[in-house]
Structure 1
Amino acid sequence: MKHLLCGSALALAALCPVSPAFAQESADLDQITVQAPLLHPSAGLMNEHMHDGGEFMIGLRLERSRSAGINEAGTDDISDAAILAAGYTVRVKSMEMDMAMLDLMFAPNDTITLMVMPHYMWHRMEMVGIDPAGGGGHGGHAGHGPGMAMGFGEVHAHSTEGFGDTLVSASYRLARSDRFGAHATLGVWAPTGRVDRTNADGTFVHYGMQSGSGTWDVEPLLTVHGREGPMGWGAQASYRWRTEKANESGFRFGDVASATGWVSYLLGSSVGATGRIEYRREGAIEGHYDGPHHHDSPPDRQENYGGDVVRAGLGLNWLLPIAATSRPQLGMEFAVPLYQDLNGIQAPEKWTLSVGLSQAF
Structure 2
Amino acid sequence: MRASSAMLFKINTIKMKFARTIFAGLLVLLCQQINAQDHSKQHTESWTSARPDGHAPISVMGDHYHHKGEFMVSYRFMFMNMEGLYRGDAAISNLQGHQAGYMVTPLKMPMNMHMLGVMYAPTDKITLMAMFNYLQNDMDLQMRMPTGMTRTFSTASSGLSDVKLGFLYKLLNRNKQSLHALVNLSIPTGSLEAKAATPMSGGKQLQLPYPMQLGSGTYDADLGLTYLGQATHYSWGTQLKGTYRFGTNTYGYRMGNAYQLNSWFAVKTTPWLSVSARVEGQVTTGIIGRNANLNPMMVTTADVANSGRKLVNTALGFNLYAFKGNLKNLRLGAEYVYPVYQFVTGVQLKQKESFVIGLQYSL
Please indicate the TM-score interval, normalised by the length of the shorter structure: 0.7 to 0.9
Q: Is structure 2 residue 314 aligned with structure 1 residue 300?
A: no
What is the percent sequence identity of the aligned residues?
Answer: 27
Pick from 266, 270, 273 the counterpart of residue 264 of structure 1: 266
Question: Structure 1: which 5+ residue stretches go unaligned?
Answer: 18-31, 135-150
TM-score, normalised on structure 1? 0.85
1:125 to partner: Cα distance = 0.4
Q: Is structure 2 residue 162 aligned with structure 1 residue 165?
A: yes
Q: Is the 8 A contact 2:261 2:281 kept in 1?
A: yes
Deviation string for 1:118-168 (max 9, x for gaps)? 11111000012345625xxxxxxxxxxxxxxxx51x221111001101111
Question: Aligned with 2:19: secondary structure?
Answer: helix
Q: Partner of 1:196 in structure 2? A: 193
Question: Aligned with 2:96: secondary structure?
Answer: helix
Distance in 1 separating the partners of 2:192 and 2:79:
21
Q: Is the 8 A contact 1:242 1:252 kept in 2?
A: yes
Pick from 57, 61, 69 the counterpart of residue 46 of structure 1: 61
Q: Is structure 2 residue 361 aligned with structure 1 residue 359?
A: yes
Distance in 2 separating the partners of 1:55 and 1:6:
40
Q: Is structure 2 residue 124 aligned with structure 1 residue 127?
A: no
Q: Is structure 2 residue 342 aligned with structure 1 residue 312?
A: no
Distance in 2 separating the partners of 1:4 and 1:324:
49
Q: Partner of 1:184 in structure 2? A: 181
Question: Aligned with 2:166: secondary structure?
Answer: strand
Q: Is the 8 A contact 1:307 1:340 kept in 2?
A: yes
Q: 1:45 to 1:127 in 2, by over 3 A?
A: same
Q: Partner of 2:94 in structure 1? A: 80
Q: Is the 8 A contact 1:80 1:130 kept in 2?
A: no
Distance in 2 separating the partners of 1:278 and 1:14:
16
Distance in 1 separating the partners of 2:47 and 2:249:
45
Pick from 209, 221, 224 the counterpart of residue 221 of structure 1: 224
Equivalences for residues 226-265 of structure 1 within 5 A: 226-244=229-247, 246-265=248-267
Identify which range, 223-232 or 288-297, moves more after superposition.
Answer: 288-297
Distance in 2 separating the partners of 1:112 and 1:118:
20
Q: Is the 8 A contact 2:156 2:196 kept in 1?
A: no
Q: Partner of 1:60 in structure 2? A: 75
Distance in 2 separating the partners of 1:322 and 1:289:
54
TM-score, normalised on structure 2? 0.84
Deviation string for 1:218-273 (max 9, x for gaps)? 111000000112110000101111011x1012211000011110110011110000
| Aligned residues between the structures | 327
Q: Partner of 2:128 in structure 1? A: 114
Q: Is structure 2 residue 103 aligned with structure 1 residue 89?
A: yes
1:40 to partner: Cα distance = 0.9
Q: Is the 8 A contact 1:196 1:249 kept in 2?
A: no
Question: Aligned with 1:241: secondary structure?
Answer: strand
Distance in 1 separating the partners of 2:270 and 2:93:
49
Question: Aligned with 1:84: secondary structure?
Answer: helix
Write the letter of the residue equivalent to 1:242: R
Higher relative contact order (CA 8 A, sep 6+): 1
1:60 to partner: Cα distance = 0.4
Write the letter of the residue equivalent to 1:75: D
Q: Is the 8 A contact 2:284 2:310 kept in 1?
A: yes
Write the letter of the residue equivalent to 2:192: V
1:7 to partner: Cα distance = 2.8
1:34 to partner: Cα distance = 7.0
* Two-structure CA RMSD over aligned residues (Å): 2.4
Q: Partner of 1:140 in structure 2? A: none
Distance in 2 separating the partners of 1:162 and 1:37:
35
1:333 to partner: Cα distance = 0.6
Identify which range, 298-307 or 258-267, moves more after superposition.
Answer: 298-307
1:5 to partner: Cα distance = 5.4
Q: 1:336 to 1:292 in 2, by over 3 A?
A: closer
Higher helix share: 2
Question: Structure 2: which 5+ residue stretches go unaligned?
Answer: 1-12, 31-44, 198-203
